[in-house]
Structure 1
């Protein structure tokens, strides 16, 4: 368990009588990626430094972005069961339909996210306690909280390395179109504190690829999203980021195609190749190819298209939203 440096019951999270209210920092229900994982742990640590009892908690499975080395850092989520009256902070998610099932919507006091679609809802509900910005990684927003609180010198090396790796992952090694100068600066500061070596990006993404290939179906299942029919995107949308996408596809294309076809007749896999700074799209159904071709200038050959730049699923979501004149009920993509 991560030692946040504050004993339970000694913080100032609430003025109510009786047991102290815990601030539960958590994320989405489908899976926990490195961005959500790092944000939960590092933000709970910050809140405890500020005198607010907080725990990093999740019931979601970890995905392949939390690699073997990351797990070896022994920065883990807290073993804590939320109690009635606890408050909730949501990080790296803002779609209330996809919160961790432990979350009580009426008891959410803060949302920190970088996905589009729910900005107005939370602005009306929480005001300035809703921090939803178009940025490469939610981890960058958590880093900014540490800086604003003037507590960055106190951040643990474990939280620093987690946030730095989350930024690396979510910006696709700074090649993603949503990468900002704030992401780059945050990584530089955190990487120095965490003493990350220059070859860490290649080692990290290669580890992620090895984890994915060791259980390909499991990796697909945990990183597949089902989108609304009016999203302008394939309804079954899987994504993975690896060091060498072309090698993965050559080896595993048949397995990938069979599994995705079993999920429905409208599917897409986006394999982001960090080494090449490209996105490889696999979509055998014609309807799926047509949807993507309406958003991007690409050429399909035998069910595959290669985009000469990296593109995240959330970026495709933004493109899809731009084509919808009226969105009656937004949805979330991670």
Structure 2
């Protein structure tokens, strides 16, 4: 049995969609597979998306299980149910572990810069020649994951392949023309209804070699200015409980910008080494917006330039 799963902390829409759509493809090809996770969906899996009733499978481990990891390649963040020695495939677009998995898995490690891992899964459906058989739910999930991970196609990692995949999938899923606005507004409402949970559900402890602040949270909303004007004191209080060295990236889809919140000069300086930013009372704005994985790549690249003989593992 192939177990399709992702990270330990949370399931964002990209991981959620990839698990379900790739398990569906493998089963269609006669390869027994299950979409499994012990993590909970975060706010990027909106109520409308949950209403599509594309469910994960129950799971009882066996010694014959093999694991396919989607939207994650850092084994420190694998779902705890995963046995690393039995990972047989990686589908991911986050930087840092390409060399490690290429040595372990060869061509079965598909880790490359692209807007969404969902696009990589779409391409597997395409290559298999069975796209007409994809379920409406999987098509809608993959399309929404691409929309979210490319920041409505404004993100710097967006590729022509992401746009091609989204165009194809939206027609198969029959999503409404205003789905992007509807989706991101729904995500913002979910975030505002429980900010603490939303922050916890999309945050990571960063390793020193990332050259980023130690605690990094991210949220994608339709209107970042409105959210910060209303909730910034609460956000600052919650983030301060995580330590002194933190960063929050609030991505605003409506106006294509990132609002970076960082409390201290040490946190701000880490960002300033990677980007030209103007900090005003702990806030810096950058257009176009950036995702955490894009900042992580900048940080890793900066580290490799400073220490050319080091290898990030």
Classify the TM-score, shorter chain.
over 0.9
Equivalent residue for 1:179, pick from 144, 158, 170: 158
Aligned to 1:200: 179
The answer as to whether partners of 1:87 and 1:108 remain within 8 angstroms in 2 is yes
Equivalent residue for 1:254, pick from 208, 225, 233: 233
3-state secondary structure, aligned to 1:295: coil
TM, length-normalised to structure 2: 0.97
Aligned to 2:245: 266
Aligned to 1:53: 32
Aligned equivalents of 1:33 and 1:78: distance in 2?
17
Matches within 5 A, 1:1-16: none
Does 2:309 correspond to 1:330?
A: no
Does 2:109 correspond to 1:127?
A: no
Aligned to 1:240: 219
| Offset at residue 128 of structure 1 (A) | 1.0
The answer as to whether partners of 1:115 and 1:132 remain within 8 angstroms in 2 is yes
| Offset at residue 329 of structure 1 (A) | 6.2
Equivalent residue for 1:103, pick from 79, 82, 87: 82
Matches within 5 A, 1:53-72: 53-72=32-51
Aligned equivalents of 1:123 and 1:66: distance in 2?
31
Deviations 1:213-239 (A, max 9, x none): 111001111111111123221111110
Cα 1:235–1:133 change in 2 (3 A) is same
Aligned to 1:169: 148
Aligned equivalents of 1:284 and 1:99: distance in 2?
30
Deviations 1:235-274 (A, max 9, x none): 1111000000000000110011011111111111000000
| Offset at residue 26 of structure 1 (A) | 0.3
Aligned equivalents of 1:319 and 1:242: distance in 2?
23
Aligned equivalents of 1:152 and 1:35: distance in 2?
19
Aligned equivalents of 1:171 and 1:81: distance in 2?
35
Does 2:55 correspond to 1:76?
A: yes
Aligned to 2:194: 215
Aligned to 2:16: 37
Aligned equivalents of 2:288 and 2:26: distance in 1?
38
Aligned equivalents of 2:264 and 2:53: distance in 1?
43
Deviations 1:25-77 (A, max 9, x none): 00010100000000000000000011000000000111000001000000111
Aligned equivalents of 1:69 and 1:43: distance in 2?
21
Question: Any gaps of 5 or more consecutive residues in structure 1?
Answer: 1-21
TM, length-normalised to structure 1: 0.91
Aligned equivalents of 2:18 and 2:311: distance in 1?
27
How many pairs align?
310
Give the aligned CA root-mean-square deviation in angstroms.
1.1
Question: Any gaps of 5 or more consecutive residues in structure 2?
Answer: none
The answer as to whether partners of 1:168 and 1:187 remain within 8 angstroms in 2 is yes
The answer as to whether partners of 1:24 and 1:82 remain within 8 angstroms in 2 is no
| Offset at residue 328 of structure 1 (A) | 4.8
Aligned to 1:19: none
Aligned equivalents of 2:158 and 2:123: distance in 1?
15
Does 2:121 correspond to 1:139?
A: no
Does 2:291 correspond to 1:309?
A: no
Aligned to 1:191: 170
Stretch of structure 1 that moved more, 95-104 or 36-45: 95-104
Aligned to 1:292: 271
Does 2:70 correspond to 1:91?
A: yes
| Offset at residue 330 of structure 1 (A) | 3.5
